[in-house]
Amino acid sequence: MQYIYISFLSLFLGVALTSFIKNKNFSGFLTVLFTAISSIFLFYISINTIAGNKIIEDEVFSLKPLLNSSCVVSIDYLSALFLMIISLVSLCVSLFSWKYLNVYKTRSSARFYPFLMLLFISSVGVVCVKDILFFIIFWEFMTVSSWFLVVFEREEKSAIKGGLQYFIATHVATAFLILASVILYSYSNDFSFTEINKSLALIINYQPGIAHFILFCFFIAFVTKAGVLPFGFWLPNAYPQPPSSASSFFGGVMSKLAVYALVRFFCSVLPLSFHTQVWGFVIAVFGVFSIFIGTIAALTQDEAKRLMSFHAIGQVGYILLGIGVGLYFIKINPFLGAVALVGGLLHVFNNSIYKSLLFLNAGSIFYKTATTDLNKVSGLIKVMPVTAITALVGSLSIAGVPPFNGFISKLLIFESSIWSAKQSEVFLLIKGAFIVFGIISIFISAVTLASFLKFVNSAFMGKLQGAVDEKRNIPLLMTLPQLILAIVCVLTGLFPIIPLKLIYAGTVSLFNDLPDFSLIFGDTFAGVSISFLKNYSQGAWFPVFVIIPLIILCLLIFSFEKYAQAPKREVKTWYGGKEHVPEEVAYRGHSFYQPFKNLVSFRIGKVQFKGFYPVTTPSIKISVSEKFLKILQPDEWLYYPLTNKCVKLFEYVEKIYELTTKKYIAWLILGSIVVMVLLFYISGGKQ
């Protein structure tokens, strides 16, 4: 446990020091130093927990004289998995921020680094505590610290608007979380997860209506924070506002912590019952809704960070679809339920990596060009090739193109959704719904690929155009985090068995009666088999055997080209015989998929939809009587009259004072003489 304490202490020390240091480079160095110390210890704790097959637990302090609540730090398989994600992404984010923050010349680093490390601290706290009161404390801590990052550029109206939406939406969600916790405490008289689990089991049996209301409150709280539509309406306006490194942590980690909370409460705190199936289906429905609307809306965006923010909504939808299918079938068919749950949790890991990478890519574009508008840049591969390559890796990963890491997690989600039709115990309507969910998610995966082909082509391909700062090259400290995350995308895609084993261990800790890993996914290092029934494989994926022939073919093509030594010549582009400058004929980001974007953009009444997402809202006019309005304006009938009377009283006293000042001074002198005579007389009498 001393390692977790050192990790917390390191981050708190970083917060304290960076709050008072004005030099950006030195503050960035301290942030990297303390975050690196914390990340190393957190990663070690995670590996130690998983490899040692144990749970690390310790009570820090107790509030039991006042409340049945204790700050218990407990790290199990699920916590260890998320700690690994936090440690990796937080280190990459702090490295990237060190030089990137120099773009904001007029902004103080004290507005950024302390709150960034507070966000790291609260993120670790959320996955480590096993008491709902302290969970809420760290949860709120995470919300407030991230809000300060959203309004980092508080001079911008968009930052204030996004920050306000974020603040209101997340605090309403927290209110639901507190309400559910208070109801549970009234039954259990304890805030620990263990006691809440026992109380919830009794409530489910004897008061199912209250149980569903409690679960509804938890659901609203977590899906709002995760950005699931329609509750995540705030996300596209909030995530693009902070510096790209903070946006990277938002999209890569913070939204996934809401998924952690959902899994913790619905898979661990909630006892396995019919209610699990009901809420599994509900979670899957909202997941598919987010997949469809979020990704279609992303295709219509021309600003890189806003495009990625909508994809954050779509990608969390895939995660919820996998978790929802898993919860529904975990009791009916443990094989199918395990595949779906593991697919959802593996997509959490994969999405954390490539989503963080893509936001860092957008930050690099902004660093070089001072914009992330895809209509204003092109050909950047010529001046930032490493960023272009890593952006291509991230784009292919999020689209689920083999052999990158997004493919295997999406494959598990697709297959488990469609295979549900084979379950005879399930109602025909539910079967049909899950099949439709799977088909929609497959189609939207193609839309994701189209969206990121637009991103890569607009930003990096073609002729170099836009306001490129040739003197400002991407520093190594900004390039290195992108390379690290891109390499993780490739390695986990080529060897998926490693993350699968880690995640399956966490899934088994939630549901103890699951089959052995080898019965479902095989035990071959080169790939993965997929089994929905015992001793019967329904699919397999061996990326190593696929990538080797591709590498050989690429080498052959390269060799033939070199051997042939075909002459090359460079000529100016011919524009049909007319004189045009390249800017006039450039194929901008706005031009991609224009017919499709027109198809999914429409107006209903006064509401304009762009990619099925409302971009304008009608103004609501309410007529209210003047008498009622006067009641709502206490300044007019209470404050101002009372203030005026007080002012008049003070003015009257002031006039009296001015009239009596001369007399007052005369009386003061005369009184002083009388007092002195009396004192002299008294002292003389005593002698």
- DSSP-assigned letters across all residues of 545-594: HHHHHHHHHHHHHHHHHHHHT------PPP-TTS---HHHH---GGGTTH
Following CA atoms 124, 126, 128, 134 in sequence, which dihedral angle do they give, to the nearest 10 degrees? 130
Task: Point out the residues of the chain with pLDDT beneath 70.
Answer: 424, 535, 582-583, 617-635, 637-640, 643, 650, 653-654, 656-668, 671, 678-687
- Taking only the tens place, the pLDDT of each residue in 51-75 is 777 788 888 888 877 788 888 888 8
| Pairwise CA distance, residues 499 & 489, whole Å | 11
pLDDT score at 473: 85
Of 358, 340, 354, whose CA–CA distance to 441 is shortest?
Answer: 340
CA distances (Å), origin 439, targets 280, 324, 407, 444, 525: 18, 16, 16, 9, 30
Cβ atoms of 299 and 451 closer than 8 Å: yes
| Pairwise CA distance, residues 93 & 374, whole Å | 23
- CB-based contacts of 65, cutoff 8 Å, min separation 6: none
Q: Note the Cα 548 to chain centre separation in Å.
A: 36
Q: Note the Cα 596 to chain centre separation in Å.
A: 29
| Pairwise CA distance, residues 615 & 444, whole Å | 21
| Pairwise CA distance, residues 642 & 403, whole Å | 75
Of 176, 228, 184, 219, whose CA–CA distance to 203 is shortest?
Answer: 184
CA distances (Å), origin 147, targets 14, 56, 227, 250: 19, 31, 15, 11
Kind of pairing between the strands at 70-75 and 56-62: antiparallel
- Taking only the tens place, the pLDDT of each residue in 133-167 is 999 999 999 999 999 999 998 888 888 889 999 99
Cβ atoms of 343 and 420 closer than 8 Å: no
CA distances (Å), origin 538, targets 416, 496, 514, 529, 632: 10, 17, 18, 8, 67
Q: How many CA atoms lie less than 13 Å away from 93 in the CB half-sphere?
A: 34
Q: Note the Cα 623 to chain centre separation in Å.
A: 40
Q: What residue spans of 111-207 are helical by DSSP H?
A: 113-128, 132-150, 157-188, 193-206
* Burial of 622: CB neighbours in 10 Å, binned 0-12, 13-18, 19+: exposed
| Pairwise CA distance, residues 275 & 638, whole Å | 54
SS3 (DSSP) at 536: strand
| Pairwise CA distance, residues 190 & 246, whole Å | 36
SS3 (DSSP) at 156: coil
pLDDT score at 351: 94
* Burial of 503: CB neighbours in 10 Å, binned 0-12, 13-18, 19+: buried
* Strand-pair partners of 465: 378
The two structure tokens encoding residue 556? 């052959």
Greatest Cα pair distance in the chain = 132
Note the pTM of the prediction, 2 decimals: 0.87
SS3 (DSSP) at 596: helix
Residue 564 falls in which region: left (phi positive, over 0), alpha (psi -120 to 50) or beta: alpha
Q: What residue spans of 461-510 are helical by DSSP H?
A: 476-494, 497-510
pLDDT score at 428: 76
pLDDT score at 686: 46
Following CA atoms 279, 280, 281, 283 in sequence, which dihedral angle do they give, to the nearest 10 degrees? 80
| Pairwise CA distance, residues 303 & 499, whole Å | 33
Cβ atoms of 378 and 462 closer than 8 Å: yes
| Pairwise CA distance, residues 256 & 262, whole Å | 10
pLDDT score at 478: 93
pLDDT score at 680: 66
SS3 (DSSP) at 601: strand
The two structure tokens encoding residue 311? 């994809």
Q: At what angle do helices 385-398 and 334-369 cross, to 10 degrees?
A: 150
Residue 403 preceded by cis peptide, ω within 30: yes
Cβ atoms of 339 and 416 closer than 8 Å: yes
| Pairwise CA distance, residues 78 & 90, whole Å | 18
pLDDT score at 442: 92
Cβ atoms of 481 and 391 closer than 8 Å: no
| Pairwise CA distance, residues 372 & 459, whole Å | 9
Query: Which residue has 């096993």 as its token pair?
Result: 130
Helices and strands (DSSP H and E) totals, the chain: 26, 7
